[in-house]
Structure 1
Amino acid sequence: MNTAALRAWRLSFYFGAVFAVVGVMAPFWPVFLKARGLTATEIGLLLSAGLWLRVLANPLIAQLADRRGERRRPLLILTLVAMLAFSCFLYAKGFWGLLAVNLIASVAFSSIMPLGETVVLSTVYRLGLDYGRLRIWGSITFIATSFTGGAMLAVFGSWSVLWAILALLVIVLLACTLLPTEYERKAPAPKRASGAMGQLLCQPVFLLFLLAGGLSSASHAVLYGFATLHWRGVGFSDTLIGALWAEGVVAEIILFWLGNRLLERFGAANLLALGAAAGIIRWTAMGLSDSLGLALLTQGLHAFTFGATHLGAMHFIARAAPEEMSATAQSLHGAVGAGIAVGIVMAGAGWLYQAFANGAFFFMAGIAFASLLAALLLARVWDGERMRLSGETETSDK
């Protein structure tokens, strides 16, 4: 096996390991918390607190990693902290005890992804690998552990969720030890990396990127929060609903497989625009009709509303962010998109769905339209080069 193929295998293994954990946590973690005696309100508060703390903590952790010029060592430390924190759920009791442990576990685990993405993208661009065909394994293991997690829960009960997460974190630890380190800086980062967040947030191009990506992510709020409830309400069986969700991930896998071709054809900024345009179509269609045929068609558009947006975002960061600030850029993207934007829109999504039922998707189409405008403006003003920050000389580092 040559060097590029070996690196590709290790990066694919990393994605598979991390998203295997997500495949258990996303659908089943609230079930475990409920079994520990928490009410629905307490579960919501616990999950929300973890989300907002991640928004604050993850960019700071990433900036520290950028300053030190390391990736693998922080990843190993964060994985060990996550393992320790999740182990504490064996002993924590009551809302406040579970909240404290969950905050630590949430921050540690969620910080792994932006640092890992930085390693992956650095290796992809140096060795000419196909990012989409690496990332595809995360989607595959997400589906696998989501399906097997449901069967595990039915047979072994709610505690099996915690034990599965702990077992899978051991695999994440192994995957992190296999990540390449030869592209890490051997010397301390330039002094400007110490203020990476401030410098990035002063760049109009980067702010446009955050706006386009954040609004696109936020437009999924009604889907993630209420689509299952709505489909149940119109008579879809749980098996059919599960198949609809799986269809979306399969569509995403297909897009990732074609990722390099799409990137060459459209470019990073236009992929963001493509995802937003698909969002306008998807959410408008879901607002117009409850039919099964339309549901099948709109779930296929997940390939673009998530897949194309994610692909465009990753390649924008790899090409536009200074390398010594790449982890900070990744973490800001996650904090704004999966954190602030989704958190704000999700807060109003319940009221929208209660008031308008599937008509709430029309509001999501409006958010996707705003994302499209930001993405088109980004495509117009970004020259495809790395951003030149204050005090930098003119360069053409792609």
Structure 2
Amino acid sequence: MRIPAPIAYIALYVALYAAFGAASPFWPIFFETRALGAQQIGLILSVAMLTRLVSGPLVAILADRLGTLRLVLAGCAAVAAAAAVALLWAHGFWVLLLVALVQAAALAPITSIADALSVNTARPLFAGSPFEYGWIRGAASAAFVLGTLAAGQLVTPTDLSALIWLNASFLIAATGATPLLVGQARSHRSPSFAVSEFKALIGMSQFRVMIFASTLVYGSHAVHDAFAVIRWSEAGISTSAISFLWSEAVVAEVLVFMLAGPALLERFGVRGAAILAAAAGIIRWSVAGMTTSMLLLSLIQPLHGLTFALLHLACMRMMGTLVAASVAATAQALYAFGSGLLTAVLTFLSGALYASYAGGAFFPMAALCLVALPFAWFGFPNGRE
């Protein structure tokens, strides 16, 4: 008996994002326990980020070309789990760097391929039980938080092996969930046909505009992610209050993915959702740059549900109707590459911005959302699809 598509995808996404949540916040501390210095840790993390930017699109293109998205997804999850376990026995900078890069390369295409499969399954013409991508992605966000909390309870400052086993276990669970997915069957296409499909994808103006606008809005989170906690702490906000502010954003993300987002898409359509996300970014970063009032910060933090979750839902809905299933993983990887590259650049620049302007560093982020606004207005389709 086949497991219903929503349940199978929830199982996959929960396992994947629990794996991310269990490990990603703690990697710097783990490398520190391996007697690495700050510069060595920074080098591993930055090179891993660059590796993900390269590996994601390349593996996704390969998966589309082979027509074996589920097989590639399972293989990447298994390799990432094996690399995580290998870190337990890895010592020395160069060995740790090599293993970390193998895991980064394996992890990079996973979410793009998973999104390609789930969006294809959620297409309007899919014959089967009701399927809403937002439910799946909302469960993933909640799983990320639970994975982080679980790791935080199990690890100690001197022994972080528990996070390795959690990360590997969840990735193995994701590998096991992959065969349960509804997805495209294996297909064989000629290289020339694959190239023509890729050219057709890049040639779609709406696809290019979607990537550009979403990259600007997602990239605008760079200063917040890198320096918001520092700014709040310097303003005298307590750690418990900071935890509340951060939790507000996560809760809003989950609620928009699972409840409010699908309703907003039905009400305002893809274009309206994208406009709302960009406008929310202008408001959010402008207020964040002007004040550290706990009251005002508590009012703008839930806007994360719009600046991230709602825009992501709009982009997924748009790709579900514009992008052919045969290049879905490639499209998802290009979508992730744009925002990942700009976020990396802006995160690097945010240090200089914050050092020079403190809260004023948020204003260029608001400007990015302002630039994205007309592209959302004129580039996204006017409708629910």
**Shorter-chain TM-score: what band?**
over 0.9
Q: Separation in 1 of the partners of 2:305 and 2:119? A: 21
Give how far 1:268 is off.
Answer: 2.3
- TM-score, with structure 1 as normaliser: 0.90
Contact 1:16 1:137 in 2 (8 A): yes
**2:96 corresponds to:** 98
Letter in 2 for 1:57: S
Give how far 1:378 is off.
Answer: 0.8
Q: Separation in 2 of the partners of 1:66 and 1:22? A: 24
Q: Deviations over 1:127-154 (max 9, x none)?
A: 4411111221101111212222222224
Q: Deviations over 1:344-388 (max 9, x none)?
A: 111110111111111111111011111222212212xx5779xxx
**1:53 corresponds to:** 51
Percentage identity across paired residues of the two chains: 33
Letter in 1 for 2:95: G
Give how far 1:260 is off.
Answer: 2.4
Letter in 1 for 2:38: A
Q: 1:141 aligns with which of 135, 140, 143?
A: 143
**2:216 corresponds to:** 215
**1:298 corresponds to:** 300
**1:312 corresponds to:** 314
- TM-score, with structure 2 as normaliser: 0.92
Q: Deviations over 1:82-126 (max 9, x none)?
A: 122222212222222211111110111121111111111111121
Give how far 1:156 is off.
Answer: 7.5
Give how far 1:167 is off.
Answer: 1.7
**1:157 corresponds to:** 159
Q: Deviations over 1:286-306 (max 9, x none)?
A: 011001111111111111011
Q: 2:111 aligns with which of 93, 97, 113?
A: 113
Q: Deviations over 1:36-70 (max 9, x none)?
A: 12222222221111112222221111111111222
Q: Separation in 2 of the partners of 1:19 and 1:116? A: 11
Most deviating of 215-224 and 52-61 = 52-61
**1:388 corresponds to:** none
Equivalenced residues, count? 380
Q: Deviations over 1:146-175 (max 9, x none)?
A: 222222224883222212211221221122
Q: Separation in 2 of the partners of 1:120 and 1:360? A: 37
**2:226 corresponds to:** 225
Q: Separation in 2 of the partners of 1:237 and 1:95? A: 36
Contact 2:57 2:330 in 1 (8 A): yes
Letter in 1 for 2:15: A
Residues 156-195 of structure 1: pairs in structure 2 closer than 5 A:
157-181=159-183, 183-184=184-185, 186-188=187-189, 191-194=192-195
**2:78 corresponds to:** 80
Q: Separation in 1 of the partners of 2:261 and 2:70? A: 26
**1:389 corresponds to:** none
Most deviating of 286-295 and 23-32 = 23-32
Contact 1:212 1:375 in 2 (8 A): yes
Contact 1:14 1:172 in 2 (8 A): yes
Contact 1:32 1:158 in 2 (8 A): yes
Give how far 1:219 is off.
Answer: 0.1
Runs (5+) with no aligned partner, structure 1: 386-397
Q: Separation in 2 of the partners of 1:90 and 1:157? A: 11
Q: Separation in 2 of the partners of 1:247 and 1:266? A: 24
Q: Separation in 2 of the partners of 1:47 and 1:192? A: 37
